């Protein structure tokens, strides 16, 4: 199953909080025996604080408490960004709805 998404990203876990970015991309389930997915998406920032994008991709082993995906690039304020996005599942209701907590650490590369 392939899922395409365009979801708001907020600083806290409340759906009605003002978005700081949008997550736009896709994921597909890639295992027959467990819930694992492969993600490729872009965080699009368009606020007074940040402008630009962060590109994130990698395998999401959903049954693990925390998972790391790679930050593979960016534009604008995040030009050529590299780092790690750590996921933690906050809420899951089947395969169609889940809420993730994401902690992003960017590294300085010269």
Question: What is the average pLDDT score of the chain?
Answer: 87
Instruction: State the total domains in the chain.
Output: 1
Residue 58's domain comprises 2-11+20-107
Asked if the model's pLDDT at residue 94 lies above 70, the reply is no
Over residues 11-65, the pLDDT tens digits come to: 888 778 888 999 999 989 877 777 788 999 999 998 878 899 999 999 888 778 8
| CA-wise closest residue to 9 among 65, 78, 75, 87 | 87
The H helix count followed by the E strand count for the chain is 0, 7
pLDDT band at 86 (very low <50, low <70, confident <90, very high): very high
């Amino acid at each position: 199953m392939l899922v395409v998404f365009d979801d708001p990203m907020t600083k806290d876990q409340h759906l009605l909080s003002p978005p700081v970015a949008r997550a736009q991309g896709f994921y597909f389930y890639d295992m027959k025996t467990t819930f694992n997915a492969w993600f490729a998406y872009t965080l699009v920032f368009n606020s007074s604080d940040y402008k630009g994008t962060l590109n994130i991709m990698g395998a999401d082993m959903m049954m693990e408490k925390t998972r790391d995906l790679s930050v593979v690039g960016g534009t604008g304020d995040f030009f050529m960004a590299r780092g790690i996005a750590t996921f933690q599942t906050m809420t899951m209701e089947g395969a169609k709805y889940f809420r993730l907590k994401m902690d992003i650490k960017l590294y300085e590369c010269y």
